[in-house]
Amino acid sequence: MMPLDQEMKLLYQELFTQFSADSITQLATETGFIRRKRKLTAMDSLFLFVFTTAHLSDSSLEDLCTYLQDQTGKVLSAEGLNQRFNWRTIVFLQAIFERLLQTKFRHSFQKLMKYSAIFERIRVLDSTAFQIPDAFAKWFPGTGCTSVKFQIEFELLSGQFTHAHFEPGRIHDAKTGNSLCQTVQSKELILRDLGYLNLAEYEKLTKQTQRYFISRLRNNALVYQKNPSPSYCLNGKLKVSTVYTQHAIQELANTVKRGDTKEFEGFYVGKNKVKMPIRLVICHFSVAQQEKRIARMKEIERVRGIRYQEKTKAMSAYGIYMTNLPEAITKEDIYQIYSLRWQIELLFKVWKSTMALTHCKPMKMERFICYFYSQLIRLILCTMVTYQMRYLLWIKSRKELSEMKGIEMLFDKLKTLYLAIKEGAASVVQTLLYIFSQMERHGLKSRKKGKPTFQQLIGTLE
């Protein structure tokens, strides 16, 4: 590992040069956001949209103008700011967002992971949705209410985002999942929840070299085994309906003892004549784990006004997974690796709590879209930098950084980073070193009994 100040200098070059005054002004000119010399510069706008703790959606125009004047000295009327929320601004923010998505970082836990001989990247896809004012129902129809959904996919070992977009709440997750399955590269593993289950896409991955998945399987799914004694017609032709024997997941799950993980060999999933071979793993959770799952079901029932069947609640005692990973990955490893999917849930939690993503009030559509892009930029920026510092902290002192604490601390320092960017590279490096020292002192992960940490799950720490 090179000296820490050199690492931070490289981090600046990889990322924060994108936010320099020259870079942002050029991008603003190219996108048409800036067409003439104006009182409010592109950097001033960037500060308001991204590097401020002022809430772009929840605050009034007057409050935003007051905050802008306090921080930059630029005087702007509420109507003047309102007019700046237009489609040129959206294109400008979208360009920053897309450029940020293309950023590549040097550090990844790939070489330190015990599974690196089999896969080198772990891509996790999930969505988060929330209700928004009915004034946006025309653009963002939901299921039962007006809502917007964010689809996020990022790579766990480096913090690199591979996909991000927002869409109407009623669009099914499978649409995004199907399109991203086609982008999976060699030695990549994808972790998917039930909302993205698509056997046809997983079958395509299985037929390709070193493209892997772990997915949950529905409690009421049917799985199959090859029949050792199929039937034949009088003319000697095989009866297709007897090639496989059918099994219900519930029946298999009942054979797994509490606290155990069991793999069922020789099983297939699929419809019609085509069946895909899988490794089927069923975990029987502890009583405490099941109680947490049932509590979550009750919360969903309360919020959404639905009712789970009793047999569904009974099956909450089991985790059912299918994968095409090779035998070198044990059944216990499959469950542990899938547990890493929780990292994206933590990301959504900090996005909603610390960055107040769900705080939206009625406003014009252009401002609404600007708000969404500004939130995406913030999330990606804070996450990517935090994950790089997580790696450096581990290499430097074998300490584990809490991803949530790190993102929260970085979010609080966005204004400081903006001021450092305006001063130049040296100031940014010193600011990053300060943030790193604060993370090392106050951002370490808390160890909880029975809950393995990220380092333990990927095998770098016993």
Domain ranges of the chain: 4-104+363-458, 211-328
Name the 3-class secondary structure at 443.
coil
CA distances (Å), origin 119, targets 109, 161, 188, 316: 12, 18, 5, 30
Question: pLDDT tens digits, residue range 362-404?
Answer: 889 999 999 999 999 999 999 999 999 999 999 999 999 999 9
Amino acid 315 reads: M
Beta bridge mates, 225: 245, 267
Question: pLDDT tens digits, residue range 165-197?
Answer: 999 999 999 999 999 999 999 999 999 999 999
Beta bridge mates, 247: 223
The number of residues making up the chain comes to 462
Give the closest residue to 87 by CA, choosing from 362, 361, 369.
369
Q: Is the pLDDT of residue 280 over 60?
A: yes
This prediction has a pTM of: 0.92
pLDDT of residue 430: 96
Question: pLDDT tens digits, residue range 236-245?
Answer: 788 877 888 8
CA distances (Å), origin 321, targets 263, 269, 346: 10, 12, 21
Rounded Cα–Cα distance for residues 428 and 438 (Å): 15
Q: Give the DSSP letter of residue 15.
A: T
pLDDT of residue 378: 93
